[in-house]
Structure 1
Amino acid sequence: MVRKFIRLVQVIALTICFLGLSAKMNAQTYKVEFGKNRIQYKYFDWSYFASENFEVYFYDGGRDIAYKTIEYLEGEFSRITETIGQLPYAKIRVFLYNSIIDKQQSNVGVNAGDFTIGGQTDFIQSQLELAYSGDYSSFKTKAVYSVTEMLIEEMLYGGNIAEMFQSSFTNSIPLWFTGGIARYVSRGWDSESDDAVREYVATTTEDKFIKLTPEMNILLGQSIWNYIAQKNGQRTISNILNLARIIRNEENSIERTLDTPYEQFMREWRLYYSEANTLLKESYVEPDVDNIVSGKNREDYHYTSVKFSPDGKFLAYSAMSQGQFKVIVRNLGSEEEKEIFAGGLKLINQETDRNYPILSWADSTTLGVIYAEEGSNILAVKRLGTKGEQKIRIPLLSKIQSFDFKDGGRLAVMTGSINNVPDAFVYNLVRGQVQKISDDKFDERDVSFYPGSNQIVFISNRSTDSVFVSGPDKLEAVEMNQFNVYGYDIDYPDSSFRRMTNALAVAKQPLNIDGDKILYISDQQGIYNLYRYSLSDSTSVQITNFLYGIKQYDFNYDLGKVAFISNFDGKDGVFVQDLNVNASMFSPVTPRRALQVARILAERRRERLGEQYDQLDSVNSQTVSPIEVKSPLQQLDSLKAGAINTEEYEFEIETKVDTRNYQFEQPATDRGVNNRSFLSIYQNANNENSIQGPSPYENRFQTDNVITTFVIDELRSVSQLLEIEMNDYLENHRFRGGILIPLSFNSGYDIYGEYEYLKNRVDISASYHRKSLVRIDQATFLNQRFNKNTFQLGFAYPFNHKLRAEFNPFITETRYIDRDIRLLIPANNPSQFIPEITSDYIGFNSALVYDNTIVTGINLHQGTRAKVRYESHFKMNSDAVSFNNLELDVRHYYRLNKAIYLAGRAYFGTYFGDAPKKYLLGGVDNWAFNSTESSNAEVNPLDFQTLFDNSDVLFHQFTNLRGYNYNTFQGRNVLTFSGEIRFPINQLLSNADLKSNFLKNLQFVGFYDIGSAWNDLSPFKDKNNLNTEEIRNEGSPFSAVINNFSNPWLQSTGVGVRTMLFGFFSRVDVSFPIRNFETLNPKVQLSFGYDF
């Protein structure tokens, strides 16, 4: 026992020695075996605009929105940086995509978050990717959110090299803290956050958010930052953030800044929102749980659309999760549900379009589904009761926000964007043509047909009903707080749209139900509820009073039922219930809404007072100024941009100055100076906001990460691994190089370098790897060096985000050098001695790789990984001998519940050909104080002797099996299976927000391993290589074959502990080996790195 304790102390001391060489450990292995794919469906030719603080990159079709974006972000820069108290370390690079579909083709962060490299320190860059959202108002919010999020990440985790290395050792800041402040800066106190916190404080007493979805974490975090700003002022926000940057603890930073214990702060936060909503509960009602049709939503689906069939027999709704979606149709009579369509890909660490899929019925049995596939917008037309569906690629539109079939399904209306300009469109499915309904720079949303008519109703933030007004030229001028209902008849183009509502609120999803009544949802009272507008008397009336806002809805007039999506237990839920559309009610305004309206009105009043008006008098003189008259409904290719209709021309009237009654203009005061800090004023003092460009994108490289860690090599013991990875801004070009140096300095080394070109669909790579192994034994004068040099080209073709094929031709050279000094004496040097042998090979390896796993925690995955790999070495000279290799590796990870995981791995490998190599079974990766078995075979694969060329050791592979030493079994074939059950403590403890790295990453595992290695006779046969011995006496013509009935399978079972120890993810396994049907003494193995 004392000896074991001493050895444990030695291990801890060894770990501390390497602490200075290690950073955040994402995996202690330098072999990347799997990985996700990004597919490029189009070519991106980038250019950029540059300003004082930003570079905004764009490609075809994105020039106009890029200019508006850089202009808008420059205007918001002072507000953002002053609020959070952080300036960027460099000019912020914004890569602007025309749609989320295009952004999903980016290579940036393709394997981020996975366990791939050990000792990795990521370099935080002043860079972000931003996808246009489809309309200007939501894009403004998204742009500010993305910039704020990037600055927060740079503030907390990077900036300079010292801070990046420091952040690698510390705990990460929770999402509610970082994402919450980004959302608060971009949105303030909005209805979605208000809904979330209203439900949360009413239904739970927990103040830890670790069990909640990422979306709920961000929404509740937003409410916390709003509470801080309301109670303590906005300048408190920067103080808290800067203290969190120093002490790396969000709770202590809040506690010290506000001088309030964190527990008390959270109680006061809860009380603040509870008291604010006490009166609301008396006037509002919660959706009836009995009316929910989507269940408890244990998979955390985001429901995107809900639609009744025209005859009222069916209800269709769509559920999205991480890019994958399904469409479910519910028979309202039998209450049976069936999944009729599914699509999408599970996207890891990528933005997904939460608006897709969009549903609309063409008739009572035909459903249309709009979604994204292979870089395009697709309309799938699915007929109930039949197999398959018709898929139509929608032309021109890069983003679709809404669509609705006209009865019969031959015509549809849509809102979306072309060249990043939001408009309403008519889509003729028969001809495949798209026509514009609107042609301006206002935001159009949520379009639908009147029943049995070509009249449409839609939502817009236009300030006028005229079709001739082009709309705001700058994003700053885009209206975000006022969206109203408009109507139009596409058969009779007019000079104006019909404005139906005029409220200082955001209306959504208008639906004409009987020719006169139009339903829509609005946040007029602070919570999105249903309203009814009557065309006959032009009045609007509230008809529902739900406590939690309606996100999507549909109404069937014949059934008198409404289906809607709303909050349920912190997640989305689909409800169906009766609705009296003739009802009328009035609900009180929420405190949030009252404050918002007051601020909007105050801001508008300040704007009016700050405007400068020209004091002009009308005189009879006129000057000519043309205005272009636009057709409200035009075919996209019918007019060229900027063309003037000379047949119809109008002139503006310009008045002359009346010098007899002239008044000098009063200079407008700078309304922001009084409320701005010195930092804000200083930033803008010399900033003329001049925008330069566009300029072509040039490949400029930056350091992405640095790896400094150690590897316990099976042949060379403890080795230091140093690696650096560089790439261009878009990660289309990647350079990776490294060196592995044993600490003994006389055991050899590894050097490798790789270049990858990922810009097109076929990924191309070139690499060089040199492995050197030295064996020195002064007692026996052994001094041998074995070198292997490999030059390889690589080609990878991704079929989708989960599956790819690889083909890699290579040239390999091995060299054996015997440096035994005794061989320099002629008498000791036999004539056949060759001090140096070089073997040259040419060959290839090909693989099929599947990976749909997602990271759910440290050392935890969900999903499946599989790889089939074939490799051939063909000899190029007389000293080389050809051989081949085939391997299959399958790993599956299953989540039993929120805190228990099953993991299984099956591995098979075989060498064959003229000179097959060996698999050495036993041991684990990075095993401290490892042991190696002496081989019972005729030729020990790990034996090194003078005059004996054992270059095969450069190709032998060690295969893991816990509870045994290295090389317990060996053979040219191997088969293993490992099963684990994993218990992460952080997830087992309900709402445990553990701060200690040791406890936060603590896991207990139970495992079972089984495997065998053999040459010719399979262990599945009664007679095999492991239980059969041949006895032969030298000089005797007789021999005997004896079956010793040994079990050809090595087995082990046991338990283990995993945790982060001194910056390293460490494993301790207590194994009970089972060999020859006998359980042996337990074996303790300490190793570093993640499990399979």
Structure 2
Amino acid sequence: MRILQATTLFLTLCAVAVTGQETYFGKNKVRYKNFEWNYIQTRHFDIYFYEDAYPTAKFGAAVLETSYVEVSNELNYVIQRRIPVFIYNSPNDFQQTNIIPNLINEAIGGFTEAFKNRVVVPVDGSYENLRHVLHHELTHAVIYDMLFGGAIGAISLQRRIFDLPGWFAEGYAEWSSRFGWDYFSDMYLRDATINNYLEPPEQIEGYIAYRQGQAMIDYLVDRYGIEKLGELLQKGKVHLTMARAMKAALNTTEEEFYKGFAKEMKRRYWPEIARRKEPDDFATQLTKARKDGSFFNEQPVFSPEGDKLAIFTDRRDYTEIVLLSAIDGRELARLVKGERSGDLESLHSYVSGMSFSPDGRSIVFVAKSKGQDALFLFDVNKREIYRRKKFDYRSIVSPSWSPDGKAIAFSALDGYKRDLFVWSIDRDSVRQLTDDRYDDGSPSWVKGSERIVFSSDRPHPGRPAMNSFGHPESDSGFVKPGDFDYGDYNIFEIDLTTLAVTPLEVGPGANRSPSVSPDGKRVAFISNRNGIDNIYVARLDTVEYQAVTDILTGVQAISWSPDGQKMAFQAFHNGCFDVYVMKDLVPAGNGGVLEPTDFAAGKYKQADRPGPRPVAARDTARVDTAAVRAVSDTTAPAQEKASTDTSAVRADVDTTRVAAKDTTAAQTPGESGIVGNDYVYVSKRKHDALDSLMRDVADTAGGALRKEPASFDSIPPATSSGEYTVHKYKVKFTPDFVGGGFSYNTFFGLSGQSFLVFSDYLGNQQIIVGFDLVNTIDQSNVQAYYLNSTKRTNYGVGLFHSKNYYVDNFGYLFSDRFYGFEGFISHPFTTFSRIELVGAEYFIDRRYYDIALGDTRRPRDTRVTVGTLSWVHDNVLWGYTGPINGERAKLSVSSGIDLFNTRNLTFSSVEFDYRKYWHIKGAFSAALRFSGGLSGGRTPKWYFLGGTTNWIGSRDLDSTVYDVENLYFSEVVTPLRGVPYYGLAGDRYGLINAEFRFPMVRLLALGFPLPLVLGNVMGVVFTDVGATWFGNNFKGVATEPNGTQHFKDIHTGFGTGMRLNVLGFALLRYDIAWSTDFNKVSDRPTHYFSLGADF
């Protein structure tokens, strides 16, 4: 996944700056553990790992070097800089990375950061998933190197940047990493085409960019040739937009390209409507995705009584477990509310199911709790969690309660592999059932509680490794990197007494998600053998299996009813997942055999389509064959390790590995290829004077020669036994962003502005420097900060200096020299709550310049020590213009004192802010806010109310605003619309805001006077009630001589407004408000134009 770091890192500084005028919330990225990093080096990559993950790093080395040859060949390009790759041992660890500041949700399987071109991926227990995501992210890294020279920071001073669309970047990444087209994307495009949600290129965003983008890349390669991929990128560097690049490279327009693509999709998929069935043709639909606000209804499981189903759903935005009627889908109860607190940070509904106890009183599910996965036992009747069990595993999925109720089986990531375990509930002991490198999951008990059926990608004895459609992997000629077969899933059974594993004969294809029938005689599972994920049922005592669905899209997560007569499942339809119950378990298709899709039958494959080939057969880019051999050459004799200053380690030998794969290629010195243990490149060109600096690499597509840096040759290969030297990670600061400029003239002297950001490779430490140089240092603005997030408690220190000139409301000129140093400490308890401590010493030197014009004020020097302690809570979800669901709160206590002169400035204050949001339906929502504060001391803090945040317009400020105490230590509280900006002041305040937010304009296309398209324009109706006062002098209601009552210190405004997202990076707000004291309403409204999100 491509992620560009935000260059607006000053937000971090604003959070601790005394001049900040916004109350800051935000969720937390919690470092629940510390990581001690090491790394190994291959020819093109630095691969970072920690703890016992050296075998994973070796596997990654093989995958990356092999995949790099694929990508280099497809794009006709060789990288010019080494690519750093960071491998985290689990998704939970991965979500703690500081390489990017963004919070990482479960849907993100990896990312490539553009500033330093870093690839970051987690291990989830599946080597096939790891292979795929490494290859996927590598494509982004190669493209970044191609377009930006390896790091986007290098283009900070450039004005011309290719706007690479997401559909190409993500689509090509999927196309390359899945070796062209695959059955899963075939399912998605079939659904998108039939249900008419394909998007034109300029409107593609979100997840569809991956799937439709892959299809568009596949179409592009079929129609125009694979060489056009790299050519489009090269043209894009010149023409800056994909539309112009397409015209230059393909001689077509984006509109024509999409028209041809959409026509091809219709030709492919419309005939499938008559061949297969939609899920509601043969099953009862229990959930209504989109209509009820949900998109994901997942992992259904029957209750032991058979009349209820438990499912995961996001119908209320957050993932929850709800209880449904198995008859009509009515919601009977909300059982578990996830993603709101640290105890239930995530319910893992994407990857893990749940299970009822045999008596139906309890449910077991997995949740991430304070950074670590745990099993939760939930009492269905009491609606409460009564037991939480944590294990020392990196992740847990797929809990399954035994028929006798005494144990729970589950799959867990232990070290760098995923195995099966059984937890004895009464004895509170754990037994490990499998212990190997294969991905073992989806355990399902057989009646009697003595056997478990599960899915695994371990080899099936007597049968070669199979691809997704049941054909031997060797048919494609592609050799997967690694010294063992992986990624080809099948169904197995394990005996809990002997731990003997027996393969079940259930037919070809990728067979997953087994569910044993209540009588223990049959097993249902999901297989893609016809090109679509369908439900099959096999007998456990005979070799007999048949399909019971012939669905148009795909099935996931199946569950038997207690009587064995029905089956619940989730199915993909119209871009969402819904839950269905099927009653008639009869053979589908032709006696349980299904007609293959055109893709599964090979009808889409073009004769000249580049398919996966052995890596050694390619010579267009130099591959580190030692890296590939490090995990694939198991027959090489052991040799002594190279002697180095650092240690070399060797992975434990896996006794289940298969014979080494043949990676030989050209064997004569007259051509390039692998000779013995080395890759030999034989150049066809004469000597070049630059050969000492660059390495030639053949370019067969273009007939030219590209060059790899000679520095790549300085990296020693792996030893003959396939081992690498392991290096310790050392902190080294390198630039993330550098920008600015300088000028000089004889009158003003030297001037310039610069902004620099440095960080280490892990993103744990940052140095931020910004300065605005004007003639001399004492006239310049300078900020320098150091931020450290290495451990759970984050901290930062910094210093600053600024010189500002002001003209007050009397027209007098004065200046403030504002400088000092500050520090902060932030300790997150969970993703949703933290405490913050900010301390600073501020110096303010004020000088007045209009003495001759009557300004009699004397110079003033102020020294103030300020400290603030805050508690912050935030679990909101965001909509188009602001939070749409959840709540956030902040409570702060602060104090300031001049330690040099206690009679100068002294204050203390307490402030609170609570906000609650309700998502009504679709884009409709409501928001309510309560906030208040009070201050005391010799010079109490003032609170200014009125207007709206980031108001665009003139300000008529009172002279008191320019007092040192108010200019630097006051709080401006908004919104209070209907009242002028800074219109109210006091050392106490209270504010209530209520808003109803709704969609105003879905889509508006203008042809004149400007061709402008506006979408998702939001509207708002609001009421603001606020008051300020000094001390105890508050009078809420006043009575006129005629007896009429009205608000006095309480001010109220009401009105309406609209919100427009401008070009995707700025939110423009317009509000029109009237003020009222509940006796009369203002004659004229106040108009507000402002920028920023809603509160």
Q: So what's the TM-score if we normalise by structure 1? A: 0.76
**SS at structure 2 position matched to 1:288:** helix
1:457 aligns with 2:453: yes
Q: Tell me what 1:874 maps to.
A: 897
Q: What's the offset of the Cα at 1:914?
A: 2.1
5 Å matches for 1:753-772? 753-770=784-801, 772=803
5 Å matches for 1:858-1007? 863-876=886-899, 877-892=901-916, 898-899=922-923, 905-924=929-948, 927=951, 930-934=954-958, 940-942=959-961, 953-960=967-974, 961-962=976-977, 965-978=980-993, 987-988=1002-1003, 999=1014
- Judge which range, 99-108 or 682-691, deviates more: 682-691
Q: Distance in 2 between matches of 1:978 and 1:748?
A: 42
Deviations 1:845-883 (A, max 9, x none): 111222233444466765443322221123423442421
2:336 to 332, 341, 350: 341
Change (3 A) 1:103 1:304: farther
**SS at structure 1 position matched to 2:555:** coil
Q: Tell me what 1:487 maps to.
A: 493
Deviations 1:722-778 (A, max 9, x none): 65443322222233344579x999998764433222222222222334455555799
Q: What's the offset of the Cα at 1:704?
A: 3.9
- Judge which range, 835-844 or 441-450, deviates more: 835-844
Q: Distance in 2 between matches of 1:606 and 1:748?
A: 65
Q: Tell me what 1:46 maps to.
A: 37
**SS at structure 1 position matched to 2:400:** strand
5 Å matches for 1:314-713? 314-319=308-313, 325-332=319-326, 336=330, 337-344=332-339, 355-365=350-360, 366-463=362-459, 465=461, 475-476=481-482, 478-479=484-485, 482-494=488-500, 497-501=502-506, 503-509=508-514, 511=516, 514-556=519-561, 558-580=563-585, 584-595=591-602, 677=701, 690-691=717-718, 693-705=725-737
Q: Tell me what 1:1037 maps to.
A: none
Change (3 A) 1:223 1:959: same
Counterpart residue identity of residue 920, structure 1:
F
Change (3 A) 1:190 1:379: same
Q: Distance in 1 between matches of 2:616 and 2:790?
A: 53
Give the percent of matched residue pairs that are identical in Structure 1 and Structure 2. Answer: 20
Counterpart residue identity of residue 314, structure 1:
K
**Retained in 2: the 8 A contact 1:125–1:154?**
no
2:1053 to 1051, 1054, 1064: 1051
Counterpart residue identity of residue 960, structure 2:
P
1:203 to 195, 199, 216: 195
Change (3 A) 1:1066 1:384: closer
Q: What's the offset of the Cα at 1:1016?
A: 3.5
Q: Distance in 2 between matches of 1:956 and 1:505?
A: 65
Q: Distance in 1 between matches of 2:12 and 2:1092?
A: 6
Deviations 1:1004-1056 (A, max 9, x none): 666555544322356553359xx99xxxxxxxxxxxxxx99867526364646
Q: Distance in 1 between matches of 2:883 and 2:462?
A: 58
**Alignment root-mean-square deviation, CA:** 5.3
2:296 to 279, 291, 302: 302
2:268 to 276, 287, 301: 276
Q: Tell me what 1:194 maps to.
A: 186
Change (3 A) 1:591 1:254: farther
Q: Distance in 1 between matches of 2:770 and 2:149?
A: 23
Q: What's the offset of the Cα at 1:997?
A: 9.0
**SS at structure 1 position matched to 2:67:** helix
Q: What's the offset of the Cα at 1:174?
A: 5.2
1:795 to 825, 828, 838: 825
Change (3 A) 1:499 1:1067: closer
**Retained in 2: the 8 A contact 1:1002–1:1060?**
no
1:236 aligns with 2:216: no
Counterpart residue identity of residue 126, structure 2:
D
**SS at structure 1 position matched to 2:896:** strand
Deviations 1:1058-1080 (A, max 9, x none): 56499976556555555883524
1:215 aligns with 2:181: no
Q: What's the offset of the Cα at 1:965?
A: 4.7
Q: Distance in 2 between matches of 1:334 and 1:402?
A: 26
Q: Tell me what 1:3 maps to.
A: none
Q: What's the offset of the Cα at 1:554?
A: 1.7
Q: Tell me what 1:56 maps to.
A: 47
Counterpart residue identity of residue 826, structure 2:
A
Q: Tell me what 1:293 maps to.
A: 286
**Retained in 1: the 8 A contact 2:297–2:577?**
yes
Counterpart residue identity of residue 214, structure 1:
G
Q: Distance in 2 between matches of 1:149 and 1:991?
A: 36
Change (3 A) 1:784 1:453: closer
Change (3 A) 1:112 1:399: closer
**Unmatched segments (≥5 aa) in structure 1:** 1-21, 115-121, 612-624, 627-639, 654-664, 710-718, 935-939, 945-949, 1029-1042
1:144 to 115, 135, 140: 135
**Retained in 2: the 8 A contact 1:36–1:110?**
no
1:844 to 853, 867, 871: 867
Task: Select the structure of larger CA radius of gyration.
Answer: 1
Q: What's the offset of the Cα at 1:151?
A: 4.4
Change (3 A) 1:214 1:25: farther
**SS at structure 1 position matched to 2:137:** helix
Q: Tell me what 1:1035 maps to.
A: none
5 Å matches for 1:149-168? 149-152=140-143, 159=150, 164-165=155-156
**SS at structure 2 position matched to 1:463:** coil
**Retained in 2: the 8 A contact 1:460–1:483?**
yes
**SS at structure 1 position matched to 2:216:** helix
Counterpart residue identity of residue 102, structure 1:
D
**Retained in 2: the 8 A contact 1:899–1:988?**
no
Q: Distance in 2 between matches of 1:738 and 1:321?
A: 45
Deviations 1:325-359 (A, max 9, x none): 32223343685532222334599xx9995544421
Q: What's the offset of the Cα at 1:801?
A: 0.9
**Retained in 2: the 8 A contact 1:209–1:217?**
no
- Judge which range, 360-369 or 238-247, deviates more: 238-247
Q: Distance in 1 between matches of 2:816 and 2:863?
A: 14
**Retained in 2: the 8 A contact 1:137–1:443?**
no
Change (3 A) 1:508 1:890: closer
**Retained in 1: the 8 A contact 2:55–2:651?**
no
Counterpart residue identity of residue 734, structure 1:
Q
**Retained in 2: the 8 A contact 1:184–1:226?**
yes
Deviations 1:198-252 (A, max 9, x none): 1121122663489998334422222222222233332223333444455454455
Counterpart residue identity of residue 972, structure 1:
D
**Retained in 1: the 8 A contact 2:396–2:411?**
yes
**Retained in 2: the 8 A contact 1:78–1:680?**
no
**Retained in 2: the 8 A contact 1:91–1:126?**
no
Q: Distance in 2 between matches of 1:396 and 1:473?
A: 35
Change (3 A) 1:599 1:500: farther
**SS at structure 1 position matched to 2:830:** coil
**SS at structure 2 position matched to 1:445:** strand
**Retained in 1: the 8 A contact 2:162–2:239?**
no
Counterpart residue identity of residue 76, structure 1:
S
Q: So what's the TM-score if we normalise by structure 2? A: 0.76
Matched residues, number: 973
